[in-house]
Amino acid sequence: MTNADTSSAVTVENNVVLGDNQYGKAEVHLVRVTRDSDRHEIEDLTVVSQLHGDFDAVYYEGDNAHCVPTDTQKNTVFAFAKDGVGSPEAFLIRLGRHFVDDFEWVTGGRWAARQVTWDRIPVQGEGHDHAFFRGGTGAETRTAVVKIVDETTTHVISGLEDLAVLKTTESGFVGYPVDRYTTLPETTDRILATNVTARWLYNSTDIDFNAVFDSVRTILLETFTNHYSKALQETQYLMGKAVLEAHPEIDEIKFSMPNLHHFVVDLSPYGLENPNEVFYAAHSPYGLIEGTLRREGLGDTSAIWQGVPAFV
C-alpha cells in the first residue's frame, strides 16, 4: 500500500493578519450638574469611546506609539463635559471629532451614549430645585451612537430603550392559522403591552437632536394609542411609518418590541365573573416582534449599523 499522492493538495496559508478592530473605554458614567442658578439641572450619560485607525504596530509588535490610552479617552469624556453636554448626539460628535482631528493616525471610530432622565421631587406641589428621582416621565433610556468613517462622513443613530406602554382595550388578535398545537383563543378585546426599543438613522448631522428626540417619542406614544391594533406587528409598522412621514431627516427606524402577554384569569371556580378586569401578567415566555421601517429606494445601510446594538 502506497502513500496517497499529495502533489495536488491545497496549500494552506499560515500567515495570520489583523482584521477589523477597534478599542476604547466603555461604561464611562458621567453626571453633569448645571448650577448657574439655584434651580439645578442634571445630565446623566454612560459613554463608550472606541477608535479606528492605524493600530497595526500595537497588535503586531506591542508598539504603543499610536495607542491613545483608554484612560485618556475616559478623561476626555469628563473634560468635554465641563463645557456642557447638550444633546448626547452633539456631545458624541464633538468628542469624536476631537480624536479624529487631534491624532493623525485615528481615522474614525464609534462613540455611544445611554442617557437617563431625572425628575424633580415634588414638594408641596412644586418640583424641587435640587432633589430628583428616577422612574417618572423619563423612565426609559435615551440612546445615541455616532460613527465617524472619515473626514467627511459621520453617521448618527438615535434611539430609546424600555419605553413601557400599555393600553387596556382597542387591541385584538384573530384570524391566525390553527393547528393541533394551537391553544390560544381568539380575542377582539385584550391588553396590549410592550417595552419599546427603537433606533433611527439620520441622513444629516445639522439637526436639533433634542427637539427631534422629543418629537419622535411623542409620535411613538400617540401612534401606539390612537388606533385599534390587530397585531403588534401592525402597530409597530404604523409607529415607524408615522415617524418617517413626520421627519424627512430620518431614513430608517428599527424596533424591538416584546409582546408582554396579559391573560384573563378564570375566576369561575370561585363563583365570580371576570369581564376583562383581572389579568395574569406573564413575564416569560413572551412574543418578540422586531422590524425595520425604511424609505423606499434607500440603499444598503448594513455597514452603518455594523457594531451598533440593534436587531433585524
- 179 labeled binding residue: no
- 224 labeled binding residue: no
**CA-wise closest residue to 304 among 233, 258, 254, 256:** 254
- 236 labeled binding residue: no
Q: Is 100 in contact with 148 (CB distance < 8 Å)?
A: yes
Q: Is 112 in contact with 144 (CB distance < 8 Å)?
A: yes
What are the residue numbers of the active site?
25, 70, 261
Q: In the beta sheet, which residues pair with residue 145?
A: 112, 157
- 182 labeled binding residue: no
User: Read out DSSP for 136-162?
Assistant: STT-SEEEEEEEEEETTEEEEEEEEEE
> What proportions of the chain, in percent to the nearest 5, are helix, strand and coil?
25, 35, 40
Q: Is 146 in contact with 201 (CB distance < 8 Å)?
A: no
> Which residue's entry shows cell 448657574?
36
- 233 labeled binding residue: yes
- 255 labeled binding residue: no
Q: Residue ranges for the binding site for O2?
A: 70, 259
- Known binding positions: 70-71, 173, 190, 233, 259
